[in-house]
Chains A and B, each alone.
Chain A
Amino acid sequence: MIAANGNNKAKRYGMTIDVDRCTGCGACMVACAVENNVPPAHEGATDRKGITWIRVFKVDNGEDYPDKRTVFLPVLCQQCGEDTPCVHVCPQQAVDVDPATGIVGQMPERCLGCRYCMAACPYHARYFNWWDPEWPAGMEKTLNPDVAPRMRGVVEKCNFCHGRWHAAKQRAAAAGKKEIQPGDYVPACVEACPAAAIRFGDLNDPAAEVARGAKDPASFRLLEKLHTEPKIYYSSRRDWVRRIGDAPRPPMGKENPRG
């Protein structure tokens, strides 16, 4: 990982997600899979064994009609701060926090597949490759050349499209710039969201929209009580939605016997 230095002021990339704007279309989920070479589901994959670096949950307020209200909540790796649970438990040092960007990186080459990190992650935002990646015949031609597919037996997760960060760094260097300009580096889910519900930028830059959004009184983070310092900020004008942040992840369906 690249260390911060005097010429390249450390950034703290983060996101704001306006839950009131999310329509639950799933464009972020498929754009992420396209960008990061996540394969289509294996026949035996279920919602527990599938790989969705960003997953949109349908969450309601628990009331019945006419008081029932529903929102869609995109959940991805929350890019925790210094006390990142997955970093602490990894025996292989396959997870680390890049001091230059604040991005929690996952190195599948080092991963042993012990899944301690999955157990430690309070957001359940890590996914295990139960099968080797497979694409229908010919579809492997559509893979993104900037991202290597991962093998069976390793864990993977959102890394804010690290391939795009490298590409942006190269473009900046080619243009004689030392730093990436705001807007030159945007993860695929942000670019794909048709409702513009997801914003991305440097939380350390006071002029950035995300930095302002993070300080909005309507913003909240998931499981703040754990003090993991996530860099994903959600926002909603509705009180009951803001209280979702303190709740555990919505229960998933019973395991499919085919899985």
Chain B
Amino acid sequence: MQTTRRNLFKFLGGSAVGVMFTPAPWRLITDTALWSENWPGIPRPVRGEIKTRYTTCALCPAGCAVRARLVGEQPVALMGVPAHPLSLGALCPFGLTGHHLPYHPERLKQGPAHEAAGAVANAIAQCGPNERIAVLDLRPGRTASWTYRRAMAAVKNGVYLTAPRPLGGAAVNLAAARTVLSIGVPLLEGWGTPGNVLAARAGFRLIQAEPFESRTAALADLWLRINPGSGRSLALGLTAQLEGKAMPAQAAAETGLTESQIADLAADLAHNGPALVLAGEDVPEVAPLNRLTGAWGKALIARAEAPVPDSWKKAAPPAGLASVPDGSIRALLIDESVPGDYIPWNAIAPKLVPDNPVVVAFAWSRNGYGRHAQFTLPTAVYPEMTGDAPAATDSPAAAFRISTPLVPAPAGMVDPAAFIAGAAGMDASSALRERADAIHKTGRGTLFTCADAKSTPVKEVKPEDFWKALNEGGCWVDAAGKPSAPVEETGWQAKTPAPQEASDLPLLVALTDLPGATGLISPLMSKLYQESNLRLGPNRAALNPASAAACGVSEGAHAVLQTRLGERPIQVTVSASVPPGVVEVGASPEILDICGAFSRARVAQS
């Protein structure tokens, strides 16, 4: 056969078509995909020996027990400890991603520690008779908190400041309640210890009184939609009804409920007791109300703190910010190394001396008080830090747990307790051990060890073994005493209500989903905040379509939230589930600095 140019092209063309019907080209594509999957841009997980270690979560006051899965010495997953007596195996989304926090892109790597120490020493030396040196502790009750109190007792004019404690430090025993009336408390959204709350949930009827449909309201047995900021009026109305007095006129008018609804609610609480009433610190009437409903001494009880060494008891007492005169704080040291209740800067700033006050923030980033402080010192974050967790709000018995580091802290991190103790001329490096020894010395309670899920009476444990077990995720729980009612002076303080009327600020602010004072959350929480619509992200604002149209903004628009105290950039989400006239804002320190719950605001195009 003669080979012509035409035949050659026909052969090549036929071959090209024919090869498409063989596996070869498709196999090549697969192999290319395999190759590209391993190119340098795709991280390769590190392999190594799989280990298990236990610790305590330090991201909120609940202090849940954590079982960490490690590859070599690197934690790759965190889970709960099912048999744990306090957390009952549960971890919240923030706790599940705690091992990502050391790698947060916004983390501070270094800070002027020596300069800050010098400035604080100067401030202490120059502190006038009417001036104060203050420590602001966002998470009171820890051993570090006792160090601050001791340091402030040792320093001239030292003051130890804390945020108001929920329920004034009284403990809640949900298992003893048959009915729970929650006035705006996020009971099923991270309040207390998640595992304990969810385990107790089947035992009580939940009534949620709240202006907006929060997750707790959605899951409550009954949701009462009350007007924003009317929690006190509801409590007053219920108290009057239970005392057999005439209902105050403003109770129905301000809450938006009818008098018969309030009367029915009071009867419900009276007949289905013990009925526990929970509210924020802005509703002081909740204390007498709980006495009337039978919760006092049963579902709401006094609880002692875990024992401390006798030598620590000469410590400065906790004080509220309101007890400090304006313009009197010469040096303010703020510990925000662990998330806690954020106090807006506009409440703190007037307390500082007008001439060159020293403000030091111990923080993981500049997102919180670091925006206002002269010195922001970087701290270790969970799970790098060593600290302890006192009993949570919903723990009837005192408890003591240690958050043991899972990874070492990088160089240059500052320990706030060591810094403040050093400024006061103290050494507090062995404070945790001293406290553990003081607890062991009492011989009270039991020690739970995670590895074998056993509880052992403390009397049967040697001091060294007690300390070792605590450092391996163990938990001391005090012996159950006879519950007694908390004292009347629980520290509840009414906040000054925000002005409600402002014609130029047409929207009412609803704060949602507080992830902690300083917003210390894993980048992976984008699954909840950005890649789904489950939660409203920090600095995002949701508006009803009608409100959005009135403000001239649309979905995804960049806008500004304006209040009497300032303005912040936000990104708009349009949602029909938000009531008209309301702007739902994902809380963050920047937002909390310019508005509180139920304050008035305006959304404008940026």
Contact = CB atoms under 8 A, between A and B. Distances in A.
Interface stretch (B26-34, B159-167, B312-320, B460-468): B26-34
A52 B39 CA distance: 24
A258 B535 CA distance: 19
Nearest to A151: B37
A38 B99 CA distance: 15
Contact of B33 (A45, A47, A140, A154): A154
A137 B105 contact: yes
Contacts of B198: 23, 194-196
B41 A132 contact: yes
15 contacts: A24-B534, A26-B527, A27-B93, A29-B532, A30-B524, A31-B96, A50-B527, A52-B531, A92-B26, A111-B33, A136-B105, A143-B76, A151-B36, A192-B79, A253-B555
Given A25-B189, A26-B534, A29-B93, A141 B104 contact: no
Contact of A256 (B71, B219, B556): B556
A147 B45 CA distance: 8
A34 B213 contact: no
A148 interface: yes
Contacts of A24: 215, 218-219, 534
Nearest to A195: B198
Interface of B: 26, 29-30, 33-34, 36-37, 39, 41-43, 45-48, 71, 74-80, 89-93, 96-97, 99-100, 102-105, 188-190, 194-195, 198, 213, 215, 218-219, 223, 225, 522-528, 530-535, 555-556, 573-574, 577
B43 A135 contact: yes
A256 B531 CA distance: 11
A58 B219 CA distance: 12
Residue from A41, A58, A142 whose CB has the most chain B CB atoms within 10 Å: A142
Nearest to A167: B50
Pick the 10 closest A-B CB pairs, nearest first.
A50-B531, A194-B90, A41-B526, A140-B43, A143-B45, A70-B218, A139-B103, A40-B523, A138-B103, A145-B45
A52 B525 CA distance: 11
Nearest to A27: B93
Interface of A: 23-27, 29-31, 33-35, 37-38, 40-41, 45-47, 49-52, 55-56, 58, 60, 65-66, 68-72, 92, 108-112, 132-133, 135-151, 154, 188, 191-192, 194-196, 252-254, 256-258
A253 B92 contact: no
Nearest to A23: B188
Contacts of A256: 555-556
Given A27-B92, A52-B532, A194-B198, A40 B37 contact: no
Nearest to B75: A142
Given A45-B526, A108-B37, A195-B198, A34 B531 contact: no
Contacts of B556: 254, 256-258
Contacts of A51: 531
B530 A41 contact: yes
Contacts of B75: 142
A30 B93 contact: yes
Given A65-B225, A68-B213, A194-B91, A253 B45 contact: no
Nearest to B528: A26
A46 B531 contact: yes
Nearest to B48: A145
Contacts of A149: 42-43, 45
A26 B93 contact: yes
